[in-house]
Structure 1
Amino acid sequence: MRYALLLFAAVTLAPLASAQEPVTPGYVGAVPTNSLNHFYYAQPGELTKRVSVWGTVRAPGTYFVRTNVDLVELLSLAGGPSLAVRSEDVDRTTTIRVYRMEGDLRILAYEETLVDMIAEPGAYPEIQSSDVVEVETVDDRKWTFRDTVTVVGAVSTTILAIERLISLSESFSN
């Protein structure tokens, strides 16, 4: 009977004994698991900073990262900017912005195109806890021969329609 009671207590209390410590910003307790839009990149006991990554990255969300993670590494953890296949008539510009709390306001602390950011390593600011990193990708379509044909066709059709209306009105007035 005593063994049955001990077995029952062990089975009932075992899940409580292995419960995971809650994760708080700035510190990762037990080994956390990544949840929907919350990503942890630190070892248990390491100090962390909480940074939000928004925009055209593969995995936007809130990141709990080691204190020595820089902007390029953070963007890499988020899957990098969207670099989908594009046609030759499209110019793609990716802009990286870092917003930071200053008092009660969130201000723009850094803005640069991805090309310039990569060309000047170290010119970007150090990431701080509660920063918001925005990645914006804009595709600008270039003017193509197809666009020219479309405009010429529309203008020609309009001119022919006006000419036809003028000739019809002249025939009715005679």
Structure 2
Amino acid sequence: MKPLILSVEDDVQMTSLLRTVFELSDYPLIQARSAKEALTMFLSEKPELVILDLGLPDMDGLDVIRKIRGFSQAPILVLSARSEPADKIEALDLGADDYLAKPFSVDELLARIRVICRRLEQTGSLPESDVFVNGGLEIRYQEQEVRLDGKLLHLTPMEYRILVLFSRNA
């Protein structure tokens, strides 16, 4: 099962390239062209992986990393034209999981995504099936919803990750 990827890129040509690469590689993809759109999509679509450009029209990508890290540990792969070591270090220190400078090799991008996917599978963050049911407990992994006896539970991100870990190792 491949993760839903949120691509955050304002350049039209790069957006088109990424769409083609991910379609050909069978990765589900949603795309945002601004930081505001990306954060809204992140909350509503719950992607498992974010590919983020730092040079966005409405907010610096470093601020997007800060905001996402305020409530989620979803992997963030920075894909940016900023290639100075200081930019890379700052992004990684803020919580990015990886950094790839433009121009880049498509094969290298896909390899880095495979590494992230392996890590997600090992931690149980990328579930093998869509739904886990045990008695009155139901976990819908794609929607990141948990129900107990039909009632929706509101969990913190950490509580949800722990519950997913337990369900993957029931």
Task: Give the TM-score normalised by structure 1.
Answer: 0.22
Query: Which structure shows the higher helix fraction?
Result: 2
Query: Which structure shows the higher strand fraction?
Result: 1
Q: Which has the larger radius of gyration?
A: 1
Quick one: higher RCO (CA 8 Å, sep 6+), 1 or 2?
Answer: 1
Task: Give the TM-score normalised by structure 2.
Answer: 0.22
